[in-house]
Amino acid sequence: MESDEAVQSTNDDASECKRSAVRLGYWQDRFIGVLARATERKPPEINRGYFARTQGVTLFVKQFLKVVGEKCQIINIGAGFDTLYWRLKDMDLKVENFTEIDFPSVTARKCYAIKRSKVLLDGLGITDGEVKFSSTELHGGNYHLVGADVRNLADVAQKLRESEVDLRLPTLFLAECVLVYIECAQVTRLLAWIVEHFSNALFVNYEQVNMCDRFGNIMLENLRARGCPLSGVESCKSLDTQKKRFLNANWDGAKAWTMVDVYAAIDPSERHRVEKLEMLDEQELLTQLFQHYCISVAWKGPVLQGGIRLSEYDDNE
Ligand SMILES: C[S@@+](CC[C@H](N)C(=O)[O-])C[C@H]1O[C@@H](n2cnc3c(N)ncnc32)[C@H](O)[C@@H]1O
Protein backbone atom coordinates (compact mmCIF):
# COMPACT_ATOMS: atom_id res chain seq x y z
CA MET A 1 0.00 0.00 0.00
CA GLU A 2 1.18 3.51 -0.82
CA SER A 3 0.52 4.75 2.71
CA ASP A 4 2.61 1.88 4.16
CA GLU A 5 5.48 3.00 1.94
CA ALA A 6 5.18 6.56 3.25
CA VAL A 7 5.26 5.21 6.81
CA GLN A 8 8.34 3.11 6.03
CA SER A 9 10.10 6.17 4.62
CA THR A 10 9.77 7.90 8.03
CA ASN A 11 12.60 5.59 9.06
CA ASP A 12 14.93 7.34 6.61
CA ASP A 13 14.11 10.68 8.21
CA ALA A 14 14.61 9.39 11.74
CA SER A 15 17.92 7.70 10.99
CA GLU A 16 19.25 10.67 8.99
CA CYS A 17 18.35 13.06 11.83
CA LYS A 18 20.09 10.77 14.33
CA ARG A 19 23.16 10.67 12.12
CA SER A 20 23.17 14.47 11.82
CA ALA A 21 23.03 14.94 15.61
CA VAL A 22 25.68 12.27 16.27
CA ARG A 23 28.03 13.90 13.77
CA LEU A 24 27.77 17.17 15.69
CA GLY A 25 28.62 15.40 18.96
CA TYR A 26 25.20 15.27 20.67
CA TRP A 27 25.78 11.65 21.70
CA GLN A 28 28.03 8.78 20.69
CA ASP A 29 26.91 6.21 18.17
CA ARG A 30 29.59 4.66 15.97
CA PHE A 31 26.96 2.57 14.13
CA ILE A 32 24.37 5.01 12.81
CA GLY A 33 26.74 6.24 10.08
CA VAL A 34 26.81 2.73 8.62
CA LEU A 35 23.02 2.53 8.39
CA ALA A 36 21.79 6.05 7.69
CA ARG A 37 22.50 8.19 4.65
CA ALA A 38 24.46 11.38 5.19
CA THR A 39 22.29 14.42 4.54
CA GLU A 40 22.57 18.13 5.06
CA ARG A 41 22.98 19.40 8.61
CA LYS A 42 19.63 19.52 10.43
CA PRO A 43 18.46 22.61 12.34
CA PRO A 44 19.62 22.88 16.00
CA GLU A 45 16.06 22.35 17.33
CA ILE A 46 15.84 19.03 15.49
CA ASN A 47 19.26 17.90 16.74
CA ARG A 48 18.35 18.85 20.31
CA GLY A 49 14.98 17.05 19.97
CA TYR A 50 16.67 13.83 18.82
CA PHE A 51 19.17 14.16 21.67
CA ALA A 52 16.31 14.35 24.21
CA ARG A 53 14.53 11.41 22.54
CA THR A 54 17.59 9.15 22.49
CA GLN A 55 18.71 10.03 26.03
CA GLY A 56 15.14 9.76 27.37
CA VAL A 57 14.61 6.30 25.89
CA THR A 58 18.07 5.17 27.07
CA LEU A 59 17.24 6.38 30.59
CA PHE A 60 14.25 4.00 30.76
CA VAL A 61 16.12 1.14 29.10
CA LYS A 62 18.88 1.43 31.73
CA GLN A 63 16.32 1.59 34.53
CA PHE A 64 14.66 -1.58 33.23
CA LEU A 65 18.01 -3.38 33.09
CA LYS A 66 18.86 -2.21 36.61
CA VAL A 67 15.55 -3.57 37.98
CA VAL A 68 15.47 -6.91 36.15
CA GLY A 69 19.17 -7.73 35.57
CA GLU A 70 20.69 -9.43 32.53
CA LYS A 71 18.16 -12.28 32.20
CA CYS A 72 15.78 -10.22 30.12
CA GLN A 73 14.81 -9.37 26.57
CA ILE A 74 14.24 -6.28 24.48
CA ILE A 75 11.79 -6.22 21.58
CA ASN A 76 11.99 -3.11 19.44
CA ILE A 77 8.75 -2.62 17.47
CA GLY A 78 9.14 -0.62 14.25
CA ALA A 79 12.87 -0.54 14.97
CA GLY A 80 13.88 0.93 11.61
CA PHE A 81 17.64 1.54 11.54
CA ASP A 82 17.88 2.01 15.30
CA THR A 83 21.26 1.05 16.77
CA LEU A 84 20.34 0.42 20.42
CA TYR A 85 21.49 -3.23 20.24
CA TRP A 86 25.04 -2.18 19.37
CA ARG A 87 25.07 0.86 21.68
CA LEU A 88 24.10 -1.32 24.67
CA LYS A 89 27.07 -3.56 23.88
CA ASP A 90 29.35 -0.52 23.83
CA MET A 91 27.98 0.36 27.30
CA ASP A 92 28.60 -3.22 28.42
CA LEU A 93 24.88 -3.71 29.13
CA LYS A 94 23.75 -7.27 28.48
CA VAL A 95 20.42 -8.89 27.58
CA GLU A 96 19.51 -12.49 26.74
CA ASN A 97 17.66 -11.68 23.56
CA PHE A 98 17.27 -8.55 21.45
CA THR A 99 14.66 -8.71 18.70
CA GLU A 100 13.82 -6.01 16.17
CA ILE A 101 10.63 -6.03 14.07
CA ASP A 102 9.74 -3.83 11.13
CA PHE A 103 8.12 -4.19 7.71
CA PRO A 104 10.14 -6.64 5.57
CA SER A 105 11.08 -3.87 3.12
CA VAL A 106 12.80 -2.03 6.00
CA THR A 107 14.43 -5.10 7.57
CA ALA A 108 15.73 -6.12 4.11
CA ARG A 109 17.71 -2.88 3.90
CA LYS A 110 18.99 -3.28 7.45
CA CYS A 111 20.00 -6.91 6.77
CA TYR A 112 21.89 -5.87 3.66
CA ALA A 113 23.72 -3.12 5.57
CA ILE A 114 24.63 -5.48 8.44
CA LYS A 115 25.95 -8.13 6.01
CA ARG A 116 28.26 -5.58 4.43
CA SER A 117 29.50 -3.96 7.65
CA LYS A 118 32.35 -5.39 9.69
CA VAL A 119 31.57 -3.11 12.62
CA LEU A 120 27.93 -4.23 12.80
CA LEU A 121 28.79 -7.92 12.27
CA ASP A 122 31.55 -7.76 14.88
CA GLY A 123 29.01 -6.17 17.24
CA LEU A 124 26.94 -9.37 17.11
CA GLY A 125 29.87 -10.88 19.01
CA ILE A 126 29.55 -14.31 17.44
CA THR A 127 32.48 -16.52 18.21
CA ASP A 128 31.22 -20.04 17.81
CA GLY A 129 27.92 -19.94 15.98
CA GLU A 130 26.76 -18.81 12.67
CA VAL A 131 24.67 -15.92 11.47
CA LYS A 132 21.51 -17.01 9.67
CA PHE A 133 20.53 -14.61 6.92
CA SER A 134 17.64 -14.40 4.52
CA SER A 135 16.92 -11.37 2.37
CA THR A 136 14.73 -9.82 5.08
CA GLU A 137 15.77 -11.53 8.32
CA LEU A 138 18.85 -12.17 10.36
CA HIS A 139 19.47 -14.32 13.43
CA GLY A 140 22.94 -14.14 14.99
CA GLY A 141 23.84 -14.78 18.62
CA ASN A 142 21.28 -12.99 20.75
CA TYR A 143 20.32 -10.55 17.96
CA HIS A 144 17.25 -11.16 15.80
CA LEU A 145 15.94 -8.94 13.03
CA VAL A 146 12.57 -10.02 11.62
CA GLY A 147 10.14 -8.68 9.04
CA ALA A 148 6.47 -8.43 9.96
CA ASP A 149 3.58 -6.02 9.95
CA VAL A 150 2.86 -5.69 13.68
CA ARG A 151 -0.85 -5.29 12.89
CA ASN A 152 -0.80 -9.00 12.09
CA LEU A 153 -0.55 -10.71 15.48
CA ALA A 154 -0.26 -14.25 14.11
CA ASP A 155 2.80 -13.13 12.15
CA VAL A 156 4.27 -11.34 15.16
CA ALA A 157 3.82 -14.47 17.32
CA GLN A 158 5.48 -16.63 14.67
CA LYS A 159 8.44 -14.25 14.25
CA LEU A 160 8.99 -14.01 18.01
CA ARG A 161 9.05 -17.83 18.20
CA GLU A 162 11.62 -17.95 15.41
CA SER A 163 13.65 -15.40 17.39
CA GLU A 164 13.59 -17.65 20.47
CA VAL A 165 11.83 -15.05 22.57
CA ASP A 166 11.01 -16.50 25.99
CA LEU A 167 7.59 -15.40 27.23
CA ARG A 168 8.65 -15.96 30.87
CA LEU A 169 11.57 -13.50 30.85
CA PRO A 170 11.11 -9.84 31.80
CA THR A 171 10.71 -8.10 28.46
CA LEU A 172 11.06 -4.48 27.44
CA PHE A 173 8.99 -3.44 24.42
CA LEU A 174 10.12 -0.29 22.73
CA ALA A 175 8.27 1.78 20.12
CA GLU A 176 9.73 5.07 18.92
CA CYS A 177 7.36 7.00 16.64
CA VAL A 178 5.57 3.87 15.49
CA LEU A 179 2.15 3.50 17.17
CA VAL A 180 0.91 6.84 15.80
CA TYR A 181 0.86 5.24 12.32
CA ILE A 182 -1.34 2.32 13.41
CA GLU A 183 -5.14 2.30 13.94
CA CYS A 184 -5.96 2.65 17.67
CA ALA A 185 -7.99 -0.58 17.70
CA GLN A 186 -5.03 -2.48 16.24
CA VAL A 187 -2.63 -0.96 18.78
CA THR A 188 -5.00 -2.00 21.57
CA ARG A 189 -5.05 -5.55 20.21
CA LEU A 190 -1.24 -5.61 20.07
CA LEU A 191 -0.90 -4.21 23.62
CA ALA A 192 -3.52 -6.65 24.96
CA TRP A 193 -1.76 -9.53 23.19
CA ILE A 194 1.52 -8.61 24.89
CA VAL A 195 -0.12 -8.47 28.33
CA GLU A 196 -1.79 -11.80 27.71
CA HIS A 197 1.41 -13.58 26.68
CA PHE A 198 4.25 -12.00 28.71
CA SER A 199 4.31 -12.40 32.48
CA ASN A 200 6.57 -9.39 33.16
CA ALA A 201 6.74 -6.58 30.67
CA LEU A 202 7.58 -2.91 30.35
CA PHE A 203 6.52 -0.84 27.35
CA VAL A 204 8.40 2.38 26.52
CA ASN A 205 6.71 4.48 23.87
CA TYR A 206 7.97 7.75 22.36
CA GLU A 207 5.70 9.77 20.12
CA GLN A 208 3.51 12.82 19.57
CA VAL A 209 1.22 14.29 22.24
CA ASN A 210 -1.02 17.37 22.66
CA MET A 211 -2.02 17.07 19.02
CA CYS A 212 -5.24 19.06 19.44
CA ASP A 213 -3.73 22.55 19.68
CA ARG A 214 -2.58 24.79 16.81
CA PHE A 215 1.04 23.65 16.87
CA GLY A 216 -0.09 20.01 16.99
CA ASN A 217 -2.37 20.54 14.02
CA ILE A 218 0.45 22.02 11.96
CA MET A 219 2.66 19.03 12.82
CA LEU A 220 -0.12 16.67 11.70
CA GLU A 221 -0.72 18.55 8.47
CA ASN A 222 3.00 18.37 7.63
CA LEU A 223 3.04 14.62 8.15
CA ARG A 224 -0.20 14.09 6.22
CA ALA A 225 1.16 16.17 3.34
CA ARG A 226 3.86 13.51 2.98
CA GLY A 227 1.18 10.84 2.54
CA CYS A 228 1.56 9.39 6.05
CA PRO A 229 -1.71 8.26 7.55
CA LEU A 230 -1.72 9.11 11.26
CA SER A 231 -4.24 6.44 12.09
CA GLY A 232 -3.33 6.29 15.78
CA VAL A 233 -3.47 10.01 16.48
CA GLU A 234 -6.54 9.72 18.75
CA SER A 235 -4.21 8.32 21.42
CA CYS A 236 -1.86 11.28 21.01
CA LYS A 237 -4.32 13.93 22.25
CA SER A 238 -2.90 14.17 25.77
CA LEU A 239 -0.75 12.43 28.35
CA ASP A 240 -4.00 10.93 29.66
CA THR A 241 -4.97 9.36 26.32
CA GLN A 242 -1.42 8.00 26.07
CA LYS A 243 -1.77 6.28 29.46
CA LYS A 244 -5.34 5.11 28.86
CA ARG A 245 -4.25 3.26 25.73
CA PHE A 246 -2.26 0.89 28.00
CA LEU A 247 -4.75 0.74 30.87
CA ASN A 248 -7.59 -0.12 28.45
CA ALA A 249 -5.44 -3.00 27.19
CA ASN A 250 -5.07 -4.39 30.75
CA TRP A 251 -1.58 -3.20 31.62
CA ASP A 252 -1.09 -2.89 35.41
CA GLY A 253 -0.03 0.76 35.38
CA ALA A 254 1.12 3.58 33.11
CA LYS A 255 2.83 6.98 33.31
CA ALA A 256 3.62 9.63 30.72
CA TRP A 257 5.73 12.80 30.54
CA THR A 258 6.17 15.43 27.87
CA MET A 259 9.71 15.89 26.59
CA VAL A 260 9.90 19.12 28.62
CA ASP A 261 10.08 16.94 31.75
CA VAL A 262 12.19 14.26 30.12
CA TYR A 263 14.77 16.83 28.99
CA ALA A 264 14.89 18.29 32.51
CA ALA A 265 15.60 14.79 33.89
CA ILE A 266 18.71 14.29 31.74
CA ASP A 267 22.00 14.58 33.63
CA PRO A 268 22.61 18.37 33.92
CA SER A 269 26.25 18.08 32.86
CA GLU A 270 25.17 16.36 29.62
CA ARG A 271 22.50 19.01 29.02
CA HIS A 272 24.99 21.83 29.55
CA ARG A 273 27.48 20.12 27.23
CA VAL A 274 25.03 19.82 24.33
CA GLU A 275 23.61 23.29 24.88
CA LYS A 276 27.04 24.64 23.94
CA LEU A 277 27.25 22.65 20.70
CA GLU A 278 25.00 24.92 18.62
CA MET A 279 23.26 28.24 19.10
CA LEU A 280 19.50 27.83 19.20
CA ASP A 281 17.80 30.33 16.90
CA GLU A 282 14.46 29.85 18.57
CA GLN A 283 14.25 28.59 22.14
CA GLU A 284 10.45 28.95 21.91
CA LEU A 285 10.29 26.53 18.96
CA LEU A 286 12.27 23.91 20.89
CA THR A 287 9.97 24.28 23.91
CA GLN A 288 6.94 23.83 21.65
CA LEU A 289 8.47 20.73 20.09
CA PHE A 290 9.17 19.30 23.56
CA GLN A 291 5.56 19.99 24.58
CA HIS A 292 4.35 17.98 21.60
CA TYR A 293 6.32 14.78 22.12
CA CYS A 294 6.21 12.45 25.09
CA ILE A 295 7.45 9.22 26.57
CA SER A 296 4.81 6.94 28.04
CA VAL A 297 5.64 3.79 29.96
CA ALA A 298 3.43 0.92 31.07
CA TRP A 299 4.20 -2.16 33.12
CA LYS A 300 2.76 -5.58 33.73
CA GLY A 301 3.63 -8.29 36.24
CA PRO A 302 5.24 -8.48 39.67
CA VAL A 303 8.85 -7.68 38.71
CA LEU A 304 8.08 -4.11 37.66
CA GLN A 305 5.37 -3.35 40.24
CA GLY A 306 7.79 -1.04 42.08
CA GLY A 307 7.06 1.35 39.25
CA ILE A 308 9.26 3.09 36.75
CA ARG A 309 10.31 6.67 37.45
CA LEU A 310 11.60 9.48 35.31
CA SER A 311 13.77 10.75 38.15
CA GLU A 312 14.12 10.43 41.91
CA TYR A 313 11.84 13.47 42.29
CA ASP A 314 9.15 11.98 40.09
CA ASP A 315 5.74 11.88 41.75
CA ASN A 316 3.75 11.27 38.54
CA GLU A 317 1.09 8.68 39.32
C1 LIG B 1 9.59 7.02 12.36
S2 LIG B 1 10.22 5.44 12.03
C3 LIG B 1 11.08 5.13 13.55
C4 LIG B 1 12.15 4.09 13.46
C5 LIG B 1 12.86 3.80 14.78
N6 LIG B 1 11.91 3.36 15.78
C7 LIG B 1 13.59 5.03 15.25
O8 LIG B 1 13.12 5.68 16.20
O9 LIG B 1 14.62 5.37 14.67
C10 LIG B 1 8.79 4.39 12.16
C11 LIG B 1 9.08 2.93 11.88
O12 LIG B 1 7.94 2.16 12.23
C13 LIG B 1 7.76 1.15 11.26
N14 LIG B 1 6.36 0.70 11.28
C15 LIG B 1 5.26 1.49 11.23
N16 LIG B 1 4.14 0.74 11.19
C17 LIG B 1 4.55 -0.55 11.25
C18 LIG B 1 3.87 -1.81 11.22
N19 LIG B 1 2.53 -1.86 11.13
N20 LIG B 1 4.59 -2.95 11.29
C21 LIG B 1 5.96 -2.88 11.37
N22 LIG B 1 6.66 -1.72 11.39
C23 LIG B 1 5.96 -0.58 11.31
C24 LIG B 1 8.16 1.86 9.97
O25 LIG B 1 8.42 0.96 8.91
C26 LIG B 1 9.37 2.65 10.41
O27 LIG B 1 10.56 1.93 10.27
Residue 261 lies in a domain: yes
Question: What CA–CA distance (Å, rounded) separates 186 from 90?
Answer: 35
Encode burial over 185-206: b for 16+ CB neighbours within 10 A, e otherwise.
ebbbebbbebbeebebbbbbbb
pLDDT of residue 316: 59
pLDDT of residue 309: 87
Residue 307 lies in a domain: no
Residue 315 lies in a domain: no
For residue 104, the CA-to-ligand 1 centroid distance in Å is: 11
Residue 314 lies in a domain: no
pLDDT of residue 128: 67
What is the separation, in whole angstroms, between the first and last Cα of the chain? 40
Low-confidence ranges of the chain (pLDDT < 50): none
* Residue located nearest, by CA, to atom 3 of ligand 1: 11
For residue 291, the CA-to-ligand 1 centroid distance in Å is: 22
pLDDT of residue 315: 60
Residue 317 lies in a domain: no
- Beta bridge partners, 102, equal 147
For residue 23, which of 241, 316, 277, 299 has the smallest C-alpha distance?
Answer: 277
DSSP string, 161-225: HHTT--TTS-EEEEEES-GGGS-HHHHHHHHHHHHHH-SSEEEEEEEE--TTSHHHHHHHHHHHH
**Residue 5 is labelled as binding a ligand:** no
**Residue 149 is labelled as binding a ligand:** yes
User: Which amino acid, residue 44?
Assistant: P
pLDDT of residue 226: 86
Which residues form the domain of 240? 2-300
Which atom of ligand 1 is nearest to 15's Cα? 9
Which atom of ligand 1 is nearest to 81's Cα? 9
For residue 28, the CA-to-ligand 1 centroid distance in Å is: 22
Question: What CA–CA distance (Å, rounded) separates 158 from 82?
Answer: 22
For residue 313, the CA-to-ligand 1 centroid distance in Å is: 32
- As for ligand 1, residues whose beta carbon falls within 6 Å of it are 7-8, 10-11, 14-15, 78-80, 82, 102-103, 106, 149-151, 176-178, 181-182
Residue 13 lies in a domain: yes
**Residue 176 is labelled as binding a ligand:** yes
For residue 239, the CA-to-ligand 1 centroid distance in Å is: 21
pLDDT of residue 223: 87
Residue 23 lies in a domain: yes
* Residue located nearest, by CA, to atom 11 of ligand 1: 78
Q: What is the pLDDT of residues 12-25, one digit of tens each?
A: 999 999 999 999 99
Which atom of ligand 1 is nearest to 80's Cα? 27
Question: What CA–CA distance (Å, rounded) separates 247 from 188?
Answer: 10
Q: How many domains does the chain have?
A: 1
Residue 154 lies in a domain: yes
Which atom of ligand 1 is nearest to 175's Cα? 6
Domain containing residue 178: CATH number = 3.40.50.150
